[in-house]
C-alpha cells in the first residue's frame, strides 16, 4: 500500500512534467505560481459583488422563508461561461480543491469589506448520501471549508444531515421527482447552532427550496442569526 502511494506521487510529478496543468476555464498552460486558474481568468471571474447591497436579489428571494442577516452569491452562472466550467470541475471531475480555493478567495473578499465577526460557524447544505458515496465529497462543503478558513471561523460539515428515506419503494419512485424537497433535513449537533451566527452554504441557488428547508430546520434551534452564501447564482 505504502509503496503504491509513493509510486503514485512519483508518477504524478513525472506526469506533470510531460503533461503540464491547464487553466480550468481557458485551457492555457499554468505557470508554477498559478493553481487551477490562470491569473487572467482569476481576475475576470464574473463576481456578483452583491455583498455591497444588503437587499440584493438572493436576500429578497430567501428572506421570504426567515429573517436573514445576510445573503450573497459569489459568482454569476451563465451557460458556457467560466462559472459553469468551474462548477463542472467541482462536481464531476473530482476537484474539491477548486471549491475550497473559491471559498478562501470569497472569504478574503468579505473580510476586507468589513465582514469580520459576522459569522460563527459555516454549515454546508448536505448532499444526499447516495450522491456523497458516488462523488466522494460534498461540493458545498469543499467551498464551505475554504470560506470558513478565509473568514477565520470553522465549518461543521455535519451540522445538517439528510434523514434516510424510510418510505416504501413505490412511494419512493413517485417521490424521486421531488428529490430536492422530499429529503428531510435534521440538525447534526444543536449546540453549534443555538445562539450562534450560522452561515449556510450551497453551490448554486436555483429555486431556493432546498435552502429554505435547511433554514427552517436551523431556525428551530434558535441561532442568533442566519446567513446564506452560495458559490453561484444564475444570471437574470
**Identified binder of Zn ion from the candidate list 36, 41, 58, 87, rule CB under 5 A:** 41
For 63-110, give the secondary structure using H, E and C: CCCCCCCEEEEEEEECCCCHHHHHHHHHHHCCCHHHHHHHHHHHHHHH
Cell numbers standing for residue 115 = 465582514
**Identified binder of Zn ion from the candidate list 7, 11, 26, 181, rule CB under 5 A:** 26
Q: Report, in Å, the least distance between residue 25 CB and Zn ion.
A: 5
- Binding of Zn ion by 38 (CB under 5 A): yes
Taking alpha carbons only, the member of 56, 27, 25 closest to residue 43 is 25
Q: How far apart are CA 63 and CA 183, in angstroms?
A: 21
CA distances (Å), origin 63, targets 71, 94, 235: 9, 33, 19
Q: Report, in Å, the least distance between residue 8 CB and Zn ion.
A: 27
Q: How far apart are CA 211 and CA 209, in angstroms?
A: 6
Between 25 and 227, name the residue whose CB sits nearer to Zn ion: 25
CA distances (Å), origin 26, targets 86, 122, 141, 159: 11, 31, 26, 36
- Binding of Zn ion by 98 (CB under 5 A): no
Between 30 and 161, name the residue whose CB sits nearer to Zn ion: 30
Residues binding Zn ion: number (CB under 5 A):
5
Among the listed ranges 11-19, 33-41, 119-127, 227-235, the one in contact with Zn ion (CB under 5 A) is 33-41
Q: Report, in Å, the least distance between residue 37 CB and Zn ion.
A: 6
Q: Report, in Å, the least distance between residue 30 CB and Zn ion.
A: 8
Q: Report, in Å, the least distance between residue 24 CB and Zn ion.
A: 7
- Binding of Zn ion by 215 (CB under 5 A): no
Q: Return the residue matching grid coordinates 455591497.
A: 52
Q: Which residues of this chain interact with Zn ion, rule CB under 5 A?
A: 23, 26, 28, 38, 41
Amino acid at each position: 500500500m505504502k509503496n503504491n502511494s509513493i509510486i503514485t506521487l512519483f508518477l504524478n510529478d513525472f506526469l506533470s512534467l510531460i503533461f503540464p496543468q491547464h487553466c480550468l476555464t481557458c485551457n492555457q498552460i499554468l505557470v508554477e505560481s498559478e493553481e487551477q486558474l490562470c491569473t487572467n481568468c482569476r481576475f475576470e471571474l464574473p463576481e456578483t459583488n452583491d455583498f455591497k447591497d444588503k437587499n440584493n436579489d438572493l436576500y429578497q428571494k430567501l428572506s421570504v422563508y426567515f429573517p436573514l442577516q445576510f445573503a450573497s452569491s459569489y459568482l454569476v452562472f451563465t451557460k458556457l461561461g467560466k462559472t459553469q466550467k468551474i462548477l463542472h470541475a467541482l462536481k464531476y471531475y473530482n476537484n474539491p480543491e477548486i471549491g475550497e480555493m473559491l471559498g478562501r478567495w470569497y472569504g478574503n473578499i468579505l473580510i476586507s469589506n468589513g465582514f469580520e465577526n459576522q459569522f460563527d460557524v459555516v454549515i454546508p447544505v448536505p448532499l444526499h448520501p447516495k450522491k456523497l458515496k458516488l462523488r466522494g465529497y460534498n461540493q458545498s462543503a469543499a467551498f464551505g471549508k475554504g470560506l470558513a478558513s478565509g473568514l477565520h471561523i470553522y465549518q461543521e460539515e455535519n451540522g445538517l444531515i439528510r434523514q434516510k428515506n424510510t418510505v416504501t419503494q413505490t412511494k419512493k419512485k413517485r417521490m424521486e421527482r421531488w428529490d430536492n424537497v422530499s429529503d428531510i433535513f435534521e440538525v447534526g449537533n444543536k449546540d453549534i447552532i443555538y445562539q450562534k451566527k450560522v452561515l449556510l452554504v450551497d453551490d448554486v441557488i436555483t429555486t431556493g427550496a432546498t435552502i429554505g428547508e435547511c433554514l427552517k430546520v436551523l431556525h428551530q434551534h434558535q441561532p442568533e442569526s442566519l446567513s446564506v452564501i452560495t458559490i453561484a447564482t444564475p444570471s437574470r
